[in-house]
Structures are given as structure tokens and as C-alpha cells.
Chains A and B, each alone.
Chain A
Amino acid sequence: RKEVEQDPGPFNVPEGATVAFNCTYSNSASQSFFWYRQDCRKEPKLLMSVYSSGNEDGRFTAQLNRASQYISLLIRDSKLSDSATYLCGIAHGGSNYKLTFGKGTLLTVNP
């Protein structure tokens, strides 16, 4: 099992749809969890940290399930501007600062 795996894409959804991405991790000692957004030919930018209790930022909700070892990102009321690649980054056990990233999931929101 790879350290970090993401849903294979691409996801094509209409405006206004709700879309969810999952990211599984293999190391049960993983400590820190993040979602990043990467636009085409740009650098990844931090979208959200993922906390044990779950967290929400506007239309975006991130959750952590330690028992099943995955994190999720839910986007409600999708906008055209949400079109991007979404990467999960996880700091695995023994290092709370060195991230392993998933390969990313491409989201296209269509008018």
C-alpha cells in the first residue's frame, strides 16, 4: 500500500454540485494533514489544515478519520473557480514536518 493515495480523477461536475475527495494514508502514526490546491502551471497553495474534530471554511469542509486512515475534502456549491488539482499532504510518523503528497485529483467545474 502506498503511503498516500488519492481518488483517481478527473472529476467533472456542474456548477452548484457537491463533490468530495478522499485521501488514504498507510502510516497510523501520521500527525498532520493538509489539503492543497494547485492551479495549472502554478505552485500548490494551502487550502486547509485538517483537524481531528473536522473543520469548515465556507464551502469547504475537511475531515479526518483516524480509524480508517483517511482524510476527506467536501466542496459544496461548486464554482467555476474551484477548477484545479487538489492535493493531500500528510506528515507521517516520526516527522511532524516532512510531507508526503498524494498525486492529486483534477477537478473541473463546468458551467
Chain B
Amino acid sequence: NAGVTQTPKFQVLKTGQSMTLQCAQDMNHNSMYWYRQDPGMGLRLIYYSASEGTTDKGEVPNGYNVSRLNKREFSLRLESAAPSQTSVYFCASSDTGFGGGYTFGSGTRLTVV
């Protein structure tokens, strides 16, 4: 089982460029999440989708948009990248019942120059 797959693994963007980070899970999980991880800041929730068809803002949503394309896929879009968005981005999924915690993807290392 692949679990949670994120693409790309690495990306360098110029300020103002846009891009979409892709995430797919094959565990039939209802909920999916996007976090960013910065040194000294820990994991911070950007957006989440409790179930297919719903999305909600997390702690740090500014500058991002998301799409829950179907039950498997949850994408994160940066419309106009800024250096402050340089970070490691993790996608995660979980069952709504939540007994088992999250499964994380391997992350996307994004640098905005």
C-alpha cells in the first residue's frame, strides 16, 4: 500500500509564480489535511477536509487554496508564491472516527526565491 502520496517532492518557485501540490491516499480515509512545518514553529494546519465535499481553514490559510477533488485526492494551491511560503508541506489523512491518528505523506520541500 502506498498510503499517502505527495507530489512533487521538491520545488523551487520564483516569487509570484503559482503551483499546486498534489496529495492522494489509498486508505479510504474520510479526512485529509495540509500542514506546513517550519523550524521552530512545528506543524501548523493550513486547510483540512473533514469529508469529501467539505473544506475548512486551519491556523494559517492565507495565501493558499485547496480542492477536495474526490475522496482520494486533496490538492493545495499557491496562487502567488511568496518567500514566506518557503516550507515543508505535509499532507495527511485519517478516518473520521479517528482512532488511529494520521498517516502523513513524505512531504514537499518548497523554496520560494
Contacts and interface: CB of A to CB of B under 8 A. Distances in A.
Interface of A: 32, 34, 36, 42-46, 49, 87, 89, 91, 96-104
25 contacts: A42-B106, A42-B107, A43-B105, A43-B107, A44-B43, A44-B90, A44-B102, A45-B104, A46-B100, A46-B102, A46-B103, A49-B99, A87-B42, A89-B101, A96-B98, A97-B31, A97-B94, A98-B45, A99-B33, A99-B101, A99-B102, A100-B45, A101-B43, A102-B42, A103-B40
Contacts of B13: none
A98 B31 CA distance: 9
A24 B29 CA distance: 28
**Interface majority SS (helix, strand, loop, mixed), chain A:** strand
**Interface majority SS (helix, strand, loop, mixed), chain B:** loop
Interface of B: 31, 33, 35, 40-43, 45, 48, 50, 58, 90, 94, 96-107
A97 B101 CA distance: 8
Contacts of A36: 101
A51 to B, nearest CB: 10
Contacts of B33: 98-99
B96 A97 contact: yes
B42 A89 contact: no
B43 A87 contact: yes
Contacts of B90: 43-44
Contacts of A91: 98
Nearest to B48: A98
B101 A46 contact: yes
Contacts of B41: 103
A100 B45 CA distance: 8
Given A101-B35, A101-B42, A103-B42, 14 more contacts: A32-B98, A34-B102, A43-B104, A43-B105, A43-B106, A44-B43, A44-B90, A44-B104, A89-B101, A96-B98, A97-B50, A98-B33, A98-B58, A100-B45
